[in-house]
A and B are shown apart, each in its own frame.
Chain A
């Protein structure tokens, strides 16, 4: 049986502690802000202003048009337009720039032959190379359409086989592609934020709960509580209620900051997002209880929780879609509750789904929660 008065004391104690330790309070409030800033700005932004040089060996209208287009594209930061091919390659080789776009001497000539534009690129920076490659393809596709002439772009990998050129495409075709984005134009930050909210809740619940239980066991406060005529479930329930309250405030700050800083849209509505986060928080508090049930010190707990929290962070589709991972990691992902929380969060926030639409994720999360609590309370004993 759970006794509300004792429950309330647990919450009151936490609130008094926070009130008397402004530093701790600030840290609790700042943590979600830092997380959202770090991940949002650090990982969620688009790559722009990549330094390049343009080696222009030709003259004329097409060359001018091409240079203007390149210079006005956000992806590039054109360090210089030069005419020496060797210097251009040298600048890429030395790491001064990420790529050199080489316009050949016959670029502006009206010939019936394909024009061989070369993208000499530092492929050791995989992310930048990928973006430069696709941006350059897109530019020359546009230009070739504009001038309705045949132009070809080839790439040279500066680090692997600089001499090999391959024809990327023959841009002009007759097919018209219409893209219909059913959830609107979603940027990487939009994809990232729902999962960052879930991950932050996961980390703070698991870390915080264990620290509370293991810490109080270490200092003897838990023993005093267990010497009173109070059930284990009341003591644990009180701890959960207190922790949950703090986590909910955190969740609110997280959502607020995500909207404020990154203009993230919450298509399914704020309340539904909040409810999903509450269920997630409950689940991870349960996880923390289960892991800390027999842990005698905070240090032990920190060692025990890491093998669970770290893989969960990277495998549960926070940063990349689960489907892009190797099959073994995909299988592992589905045994982690964070996967279901992320899926539900993205469903609500990005797709505008309702709680009913993500019912399976919620049921699985609640099942995990129940399992964690049962194991936690069962494993928990008064021997502190």
Chain B
């Protein structure tokens, strides 16, 4: 069962700008979903539609079984939101802010304070319950924000850059907390630019670019797909080079191809080959290791860059034995998926 489902969800603003374009998304109940995308890709607009802050232009969004347009209040009751910018009243204490949120969500009076205190215990902020939010540190503010967002026991929790600007220790504490909340059954939608965070925490990741969902899978699935894609790109490049140069290229072992950093082992190499590679437009740096491997840093993810580099090696007489790179990271996936997007400044 899905916590969130969208069908051709579209938002066109009054200036005819299409921020989200026929988005189809499924977020399984009880999962941690990472929503990625470059700035202006349409993430914020998507979240605003899912949290009933704005209405879709067309398409449909079902949150917790409710249509966001037909049953906005039911949807709001199911949602919690921890925004990037801590939006609690700075002059009120953590307790007062949480009480206010609870009352706005209609939490029964007799349960309200005990719920808040339990949550404070969970996120370890009880010691600061009577402190004004304005007096808290960044991490404490995020914890206070979490309490205020969870007080009505939402099924679905949106976290927008929850660890931005936090020190590594506080970050880890929050990560643990996110896992705990997920273990308790909360579906979590995590928007973050911290790829490590998303890779580590999320069950599924969706990458939005120019208002479209351009990739969706588990983090490992996305990385594996990139690896396969890279392998294919290199195989295609080698085959093309072979056709163009009418030279037969012997078998090349391809491993973990992120295309960013490439290590090439030649059956034989000389200074001439190294010099040719160094002069290649697409190569940022060349290092020759003791075992003879040539470590290259390529300046782009352009498939043609790889083709050009391999062509330079082969045309200068190099015989490639193997190509090895670091395992693609989620960042590689992100960059690969979002390169070539529009420069429009999306909401």
- Whether B104 pairs with A383 at a CB distance below 8 angstroms is no
Stretch of B88-96, B249-257, B266-274 lying at the A interface: B88-96
Q: Given the complex, which residues of B lie within 8 Å of A221, measured CB to CB?
A: 87-89
Query: What is the chain A residue whose CB lies nearest that of B80?
Result: A227
- Whether A228 pairs with B88 at a CB distance below 8 angstroms is no
- Whether A227 pairs with B53 at a CB distance below 8 angstroms is yes
- Whether B53 pairs with A229 at a CB distance below 8 angstroms is no
Residues 296-321 of A, flagged 1 when their CB comes within 8 A of B and 0 if not, give: 00000000000000000000000000
Query: What is the chain A residue whose CB lies nearest that of B96?
Result: A16
Q: Chain A's nearest CB lies how many Å from the CB of B86?
A: 8
- Whether B101 pairs with A224 at a CB distance below 8 angstroms is yes
At the interface, yes or no: B36 with Cβ under 8 Å from chain A? Answer: no
Query: What is the chain A residue whose CB lies nearest that of B109?
Result: A5
Q: Restricting to B90-112, which residues have a CB under 8 Å from any CB of A? A: 91-92, 96, 100-101, 103-106
Query: What is the chain A residue whose CB lies nearest that of B100?
Result: A9
Q: Chain B's nearest CB lies how many Å from the CB of A372?
A: 23
Query: What is the chain B residue whose CB lies nearest that of A223?
Result: B87
At the interface, yes or no: A6 with Cβ under 8 Å from chain B? Answer: yes
Q: In whole angstroms, how far apart are the Cα atoms of A13 and B103 in the complex?
A: 13
Query: What is the chain B residue whose CB lies nearest that of A224?
Result: B87
Q: Given the complex, which residues of B lie within 8 Å of A227, measured CB to CB?
A: 51-53, 76, 79, 81
Interface magnitude class on chain B: 20 to 34
With A224-B81, A228-B105 in contact, do A382 and B92 touch (Cβ < 8 Å)? no
With A220-B85, A223-B87, A228-B105 in contact, do A13 and B76 touch (Cβ < 8 Å)? no
At the interface, yes or no: A225 with Cβ under 8 Å from chain B? Answer: yes
Q: Restricting to A1-20, which residues have a CB under 8 Å from any CB of B? A: 5-6, 9, 13, 16-17, 20
At the interface, yes or no: B83 with Cβ under 8 Å from chain A? Answer: yes
Q: In whole angstroms, how far apart are the Cα atoms of A5 and B106 in the complex?
A: 9
Residues 158-190 of A, flagged 1 when their CB comes within 8 A of B and 0 if not, give: 000000000000000000000000000000000
Q: Chain B's nearest CB lies how many Å from the CB of A25?
A: 12
Q: Given the complex, which residues of A lie within 8 Å of B86, measured CB to CB?
A: 220
Residues 56-85 of B, flagged 1 when their CB comes within 8 A of A and 0 if not, give: 000000000000000011101101010101
Query: What is the chain B residue whose CB lies nearest that of A6?
Result: B104
Q: Given the complex, which residues of B lie within 8 Å of A73, measured CB to CB?
A: none
Q: In whole angstroms, how far apart are the Cα atoms of A228 and B81 in the complex?
A: 10
At the interface, yes or no: A262 with Cβ under 8 Å from chain B? Answer: no
Q: In whole angstroms, how far apart are the Cα atoms of A219 and B48 in the complex?
A: 16
Main secondary structure of the interface of A (DSSP, over half): helix
Q: Given the complex, which residues of A lie within 8 Å of B179, measured CB to CB?
A: none
Residues 46-64 of A, flagged 1 when their CB comes within 8 A of B and 0 if not, give: 0000000000000000000
- Whether B104 pairs with A382 at a CB distance below 8 angstroms is no
- Whether A21 pairs with B101 at a CB distance below 8 angstroms is no
- Whether B73 pairs with A384 at a CB distance below 8 angstroms is no
Q: In whole angstroms, how far apart are the Cα atoms of A57 and B48 in the complex?
A: 88
Question: Which listed residue, A13, A16, A226, touches B53 by the CB 8 Å rule?
Answer: A226
Query: What is the chain A residue whose CB lies nearest that of B79?
Result: A227
At the interface, yes or no: B171 with Cβ under 8 Å from chain A? Answer: no
- Whether A5 pairs with B103 at a CB distance below 8 angstroms is yes
Q: In whole angstroms, how far apart are the Cα atoms of A352 and B122 in the complex?
A: 65
Query: What is the chain A residue whose CB lies nearest that of B83?
Result: A220
At the interface, yes or no: A27 with Cβ under 8 Å from chain B? Answer: no
- Whether B52 pairs with A224 at a CB distance below 8 angstroms is no
Question: Which listed residue, A220, A223, A230, touches B104 by the CB 8 Å rule?
Answer: A230
Q: Chain B's nearest CB lies how many Å from the CB of A154?
A: 68
Q: In whole angstroms, how far apart are the Cα atoms of A220 and B100 in the complex?
A: 15
Q: In whole angstroms, how far apart are the Cα atoms of A228 and B106 in the complex?
A: 9
Q: Chain A's nearest CB lies how many Å from the CB of B131?
A: 12
- Whether B54 pairs with A13 at a CB distance below 8 angstroms is no
Q: Restricting to B174-203, which residues have a CB under 8 Å from any CB of A? A: none
At the interface, yes or no: A381 with Cβ under 8 Å from chain B? Answer: yes
Q: Restricting to A59-77, which residues have a CB under 8 Å from any CB of B? A: none
- Whether B51 pairs with A224 at a CB distance below 8 angstroms is no
- Whether B103 pairs with A6 at a CB distance below 8 angstroms is yes
Question: Which listed residue, A9, A20, A229, touches B73 by the CB 8 Å rule?
Answer: A229
Question: Which listed residue, B48, B81, B92, touches A16 by the CB 8 Å rule?
Answer: B92
Q: In whole angstroms, how far apart are the Cα atoms of A381 and B74 in the complex?
A: 19
Interface residues, chain B, with chain A CB atoms under 8 Å away: 48, 51-54, 72-74, 76-77, 79, 81, 83, 85-89, 91-92, 96, 100-101, 103-106, 132, 148
16 A-B pairs whose Cβ atoms sit less than 8 Å apart in the complex: A9-B104, A16-B96, A17-B91, A21-B91, A219-B85, A219-B87, A224-B83, A224-B88, A227-B79, A228-B104, A229-B73, A229-B76, A229-B104, A229-B106, A383-B53, A384-B53
A-B pairs with lowest CB-CB distance, top 6: A220-B87, A229-B73, A228-B104, A17-B91, A229-B76, A224-B87
